[in-house]
Structure 1
Amino acid sequence: MSFLRACFVAFLACVAVYEPCVRAWSKEGHAMTCKIAQDLLEPEARHAVQMLLPDYAKGDLSSLCVWPDQVRHWYKYRWTSPLHFIDTPDQACNFKYQRDCHDPKGVKDMCVAGAIRNFTEQLSHYHHGSSDRRYNMTEALLFLAHFMGDIHQPMHVGFTSDQGGNAVELRWFRHKSNLHHVWDREIILTAAADYYGKDINLLQQHIQGNFTHGIWSSDLATWRKCSHISSCVNKYAAESLEMACKWGYKGVESGDTLSDDYFNSRLPVVMKRIAQGGVRLAMILNRVLAGDSLEMDETLAAT
């Protein structure tokens, strides 16, 4: 193990025990997305992922899928904070989706869609081996895995004016929350408690069953279809915006109490978005880690 890789492994080990203030999906949502993806990896991609993960992860990608949330406010990684979402104007529900992909300083591609393109491009250099030292492939893998979860969480493409629902304060059953957190974690944990004995693994197995032999099995080919990474990530973001408008914001105002009606009608949406994120992450990893190309923008520059 090289000195630089050993340093990075030690750094990951340190931040793995850090408890962040802010999450996207929840740690459970990101873990399910990554477990679904890893189960769908083909042998070449599976081997590459295991080679890129630090030894203490024991080959489990899901154990580090929350890492980008844990470091986003650290000085070294502060630049990644805008990469977890896309700013969307409030009127977007009434018009064709237009991506506003830049950071507060106006730097282009500094949003979750741009990040997915960027880290996919970086991972496409995996087969160049150690001679290509422009990129940290382990970081690229972890960022890509995480951001594929983020772009499928509808409120991460929510409105700029309310910070993707973070400023919409309400009650989830009997406790205080906000609309963003409801979609990040409340729905997932309520489902786990009510239907799966608080066992997230059982919830994940149910989600997987829905696309392996259940209600989404006929949709798999469509979910996996992608020839150009830019158009694909824009499609994923547009889907999330549609879900945010139709299911996230609809009928919700600050101060409301959300309970059974909201939970029961939104749970299938959350489960499907986790499934789609996992299936599509596997599709990207299977292709780029096997040396197949996902057409990139010629002007795409790696960070």
Structure 2
Amino acid sequence: MASDGSGLRRVLLLVCLVLCVATLPRRAGAWGADGHHAACLIAEPLLTPTTWKAVNSLLPERANGSLASLCTWADDIKWMWKYHWTAPLHYIDTPDFLCRYDYDRDCHDQHGQKGFCASGAINNFTSQLTNYELPKASRPLLTKTRASEYNLTEALLFLAHIVGDIHQPLHVGFTSDAGGNTITVHWYRRKTNLHHIWDTEMIVKAEDVYYNKSLSNMVDAIILNITNNWIGEAQLWGECPKGEIACPDTYAAESIKLACQYAYRNATPGSTLADEYFLSRLPIVETRLAQAGVRLAAILNRLFDTKSASQRLASH
């Protein structure tokens, strides 16, 4: 009897495992770890001291005062059952070949639940973070009511990550190919999918070819471009057209346009993408990382300080 019971348990465990795997989202991750680290590293020096104080008070101890160290957290946990619902928050599906984004039409999950997409998530977590109050000696970090309503540490980490996501052009891609995830191509001699090339491969290739295999060198070069060559543009990147704290619809509209103009172009199934594709698309990747960093800093500065992101940029 003990043997039969053990066998039954093994069968049930196997069934549960199969069911869990079957329900995992079909999407790959967002920017790879280097992409997310880069966006947050670009944002960090653009934060005001007051903003840094707020950010540091929300970061867990294991972050050691580094927002960038936890910018992949939202990818790390989305496979956990508790956070399985967050998978649609990392991307936006748009109609094939339309090359335009519309919040009312496009921001929903596979079940039609409105707001469950990258732009909806940015709006939601930004709204949650407006409940933050700087700690005072006479009271705890948050009021009891607000502390029980939202987990503001998680809201910060989701926001930092998803601002990065929405700037990866194929995270606002076509519905039928899941943002390039189902388009199989060759990256030089290796078989992969188009989405992964934009998430990871172009950044890794750039590090190898131009930055002595160093993400830090790549980030330094992008920051130098922001503060020297792109300063006028960067001040505009951080602004929102209607004075909102965040304007993810603007970021999403840019991404689908770039996806059509650059990511999907000449990347048909079975094609080989090599130097011509890499060299012509790398400036797009680096600019989007720069925009993600500048905009994340601008959002956090507007949330936690009255000093604008453009003023912070001008001081660098």
Q: Could you say which residue in structure 2 is the equivalent of 1:155? A: 170
Report SS of the residue matched to 2:185: strand
Contact 1:127 1:291 in 2 (8 A): no
Residue 190 of structure 1 corresponds to 205
Amino acid at match of 1:221: Q
**Secondary structure of the structure 2 residue equivalent to 1:126:** coil
Q: Distance in 1 between matches of 2:173 and 2:214?
A: 29
User: Is 1:253 matched up with 2:301?
Assistant: no
2:105 is the alignment partner of 1:98: no
1:222 counterpart = 2:228: no
Q: Which residue of 2 aligns with 1:300?
A: none
> Is contact 2:122–2:246 with CA below 8 Å preserved after alignment?
no
Query: In structure 2, what is the Cα distance between the partners aligned to 1:230 and 1:283?
Result: 8
The yes-or-no answer on 1:74 pairing with 2:87 is: no
CA distance in 1, matches of 2:64, 2:214: 21
- Pairwise CA distance, 1:289: 1.5
Give the AA of the match of 1:210: N
Deviates more, 1:261-270 or 1:67-76: 67-76
Identity %: 50
Give the Cα–Cα distance (whole angstroms) in 1 for the partners of residues 110 and 306 of structure 2.
Answer: 35
Counterpart of 1:235 in structure 2: which amino acid?
Answer: T
Distance 1:76 1:97 in 2: 30
Could you list the runs of 5+ residues in structure 1 that have no partner in the other structure? 1-20, 294-303
Q: Which residue pairs with 2:224 in the alignment?
A: 209
The alpha carbon displacement at 1:228 in A equals: 4.5
1:36–1:220 distance in 2 versus 1, CA, 3 Å: same
Alpha-carbon offset, residue 292 of structure 1: 8.6
Match of 2:283 in 1: 268
Are the equivalent residues in 2 in contact too, given 1:101–1:110 (CA < 8 A)? yes
Deviation at 1:290, TM superposition (A): 2.4
Structure 2: give runs of 5+ residues left out of the alignment.
1-26, 135-141, 309-316
Q: Cα distance, 1:217 vs. partner?
A: 1.7
Determine the structure 2 residue equivalent to 1:138.
153
Larger Rg: 2
Count of aligned pairs: 270
Structure 1 stretch displaced more, 272-281 or 53-62: 53-62
Q: How does 1:1-303 map to 2 (within 5 A)?
A: 22-93=28-99, 96-99=100-103, 100-127=106-133, 129-131=142-144, 132-133=146-147, 134-214=149-229, 216-226=230-240, 227-229=242-244, 232-290=247-305
1:284 and 1:231 map into 2 onto residues whose CA distance is 6
CA RMSD of aligned residues (A): 1.7
The one-character-per-residue Cα deviations of 1:59-105 (angstroms, maximum 9, x if unpaired) are 01111100111111211101100000001111322xx4323000111
